[in-house]
Amino acid sequence: MRISVGLLGRLLTILLLTLAVEFVASTILYERSSRALIRDDEAHRLAEHLVIARKLMSERPWAERPAMAAWLTTNRYDIHWAGQTRLGPPDATTRGEAFDRVMEWEPSLAGSDLRVKLVAVGRSAQLFGALRLADGTWLRFRAAAPEEEEEKPGWHRILLAFLPALVLLILSALLFRHTLRPMGMLARAAGRIGRGSGLTLPEAGPTEVRRVIRAFNAMQARIHQLITDRTQALAAVGHDLRTPLARMQLRTDSIPDPSLRRAFEADVAEMEAMVGSLLSFLGGEDDPEKPVRTDVAVMAATIVDDAADRGGDATYVGQDHLEASVRPVGLKRAIGNLVENALHYGHCARVSAMIDGETLIVRVDDDGPGIPEDQLEAVLHPFSRLDPARSRNTKGLGLGLAIVVRAAEAEGGTLQLANRPEGGLRAELRLPLR
């Protein structure tokens, strides 16, 4: 399953990752610097302790030095007097980093042949060393590493460090949302193109967003102007075509041959139907009709009665009354087109209107040959015709179902076509109940 993440979510994710990397890096650096400071502090205290021990031990006679060493021993430093023990020459292990740190704090220990060695004892580290006194005797020492600092995780420090990051994340989310608000307005305005008069957006937000809004407003104005020009041109063409068609209709009455007169009348009626369907489909972007409360059941029954009066096999079997907020002219044209298609191609039309949950359904069934399954979507496109299931012996330009689709979309609904198992085609207008 693919999860769609909006621009705000992506920005917050990037910010969160940045904060996480910064938090982890700063925590690591802080811990390392803290440990370095602790080591420096331990080296400083050890150096001071050794200087004091050397002075006090040098002032005591040999007999008192063991007692003095015990007195100088603490819970951190173990001191004892080794007498005239012979030690080998110092090597790299006794003159390493620990030695340098101690000598950095007390350079005076350089004349005492200081030796310091870091030894790992279990899970902790300890410093072992020796210091030569002025009379040639040796003072040995051991310094225990601080255990509390190494074993206790600083959760309180982590929480305190994370709190500003959390506040920054919330503040950034609010600022991002305010910054991206013009993008939401742009998306809503783009969804209205072709469904209304459009909406001129105010130029707000960052420079890049203002440029996009400016380009969108210009594009919307151009599209609206093109549609307006097309609508005016079609209206003019329709008016000009209807005038000669009316004259032709009048002149057919003067044709003495009845069969020829009927043929001329049929041709004129087909041309009028073509012009009407074309103007209806290409009527323009703006829909002046507003939704009103309408009894859809009565409307469907009236359309069926008109078809039956013209000799068509049309029946209504739905509810007697069903009110909904719809555009009556557009919906009446849509239901009429479905009934005409059913009568022409399926030889009969059984119409019903019902409610299914929050959906208004107007259903039209026929007993015709149906439509191939792979063509059920294609017939909804403008100027689409099928052979041989749908002959070309029909009025119009193949815009009947396309007009129905447009009327359904204006109501926020859909047109669904399906072949009935018992034969024939079922057309359903499914509209939201308002």
pLDDT at 148: 44
Q: What is the pLDDT of residues 2-37, one digit of tens each?
A: 444 566 666 777 777 777 777 666 666 555 544 443
Q: List own/partner pairs for 17-25 with CB under 8 A and 24 or more apart.
A: 19/165, 19/168, 19/169, 22/165, 23/161, 23/162, 23/165
Mean pLDDT on 185-189: 77
For residue 143, what are the CA distances in angstroms to 36, 37, 47, 89, 124? Answer: 17, 17, 11, 22, 11
User: Across 179-183, 200-204, 262-266, 367-371, which has the greatest mean pLDDT?
Assistant: 367-371
Rounded to whole angstroms, the Cα distance separating 176 from 169 reads 10
For the cut 80, the answer to whether the pLDDT of residue 78 exceeds it is yes
Q: pLDDT category, 401, cuts 50, 70, 90?
A: confident
Q: Among candidates 232, 194, 197, 201, which has minimal Cα distance to 218?
A: 201
For the cut 80, the answer to whether the pLDDT of residue 278 exceeds it is no
Alpha helices in 91-146 (DSSP H): 97-105
pLDDT at 1: 40
Mean pLDDT on 300-320: 91
Q: What is the pLDDT of residues 116-155, one digit of tens each?
A: 877 765 556 677 788 888 888 888 888 765 544 444 445 6
292-432 CATH = 3.30.565.10
Q: pLDDT category, 212, cuts 50, 70, 90?
A: confident
**Helices first, then strands: H and E counts in the chain:** 10, 11
Q: pLDDT category, 41, cuts 50, 70, 90?
A: low
Neighbours of 381 (CB within 10 A): 12
For residue 114, what are the CA distances in angstroms to 106, 141, 172? Answer: 11, 11, 57
Give burial (CB, 10 Å; 0-12/13-18/19+) of 353: buried
For the cut 80, the answer to whether the pLDDT of residue 164 exceeds it is no
Mean pLDDT on 383-388: 60
Neighbours of 136 (CB within 10 A): 8
Phi, psi of 355 (to 5 degrees): -120, 130
pLDDT at 3: 41
For residue 430, what are the CA distances in angstroms to 29, 300, 331, 340, 407? Answer: 64, 14, 12, 19, 11
Q: Among candidates 4, 6, 23, which has minimal Cα distance to 169?
A: 23
Which percentage of the chain shows pLDDT scores above 90?
16
CB 406 within 8 A of CB 281: yes
The identity of residue 350, as a single letter, is R
Q: pLDDT category, 385, cuts 50, 70, 90?
A: low
Rounded to whole angstroms, the Cα distance separating 111 from 344 reads 119
Alpha helices in 196-257 (DSSP H): 207-252
pLDDT at 198: 61
pLDDT at 107: 81
User: Across 35-39, 159-163, 364-368, which has the greatest mean pLDDT?
Assistant: 364-368
CB 68 within 8 A of CB 60: yes
Mean pLDDT on 279-297: 72
For the cut 70, the answer to whether the pLDDT of residue 312 exceeds it is yes
Which percentage of the chain shows pLDDT scores above 70?
75
Mean pLDDT on 199-225: 80
Give this prediction's pTM: 0.48
Greater pLDDT, 284 or 301: 301
Rounded to whole angstroms, the Cα distance separating 127 from 261 reads 123
Q: pLDDT category, 339, cuts 50, 70, 90?
A: very high
For residue 146, what is the DSSP state?
Answer: P
For the cut 70, the answer to whether the pLDDT of residue 416 exceeds it is yes
Q: Among candidates 111, 138, 136, 114, which has minimal Cα distance to 127?
A: 114
Rounded to whole angstroms, the Cα distance separating 210 from 30 reads 43
pLDDT at 277: 64
414, two tokens? 């859909």
Q: Per-domain residue ranges for the chain?
A: 7-151, 292-432
Rounded to whole angstroms, the Cα distance separating 193 from 220 reads 7
For residue 95, what is the DSSP state?
Answer: B
Mean pLDDT on 323-343: 90
pLDDT at 395: 52
Rounded to whole angstroms, the Cα distance separating 55 from 271 reads 124
Mean pLDDT on 54-79: 85
Greater pLDDT, 289 or 78: 78
The identity of residue 324, as a single letter, is A
pLDDT at 255: 83
Greater pLDDT, 324 or 255: 324
pLDDT at 39: 60
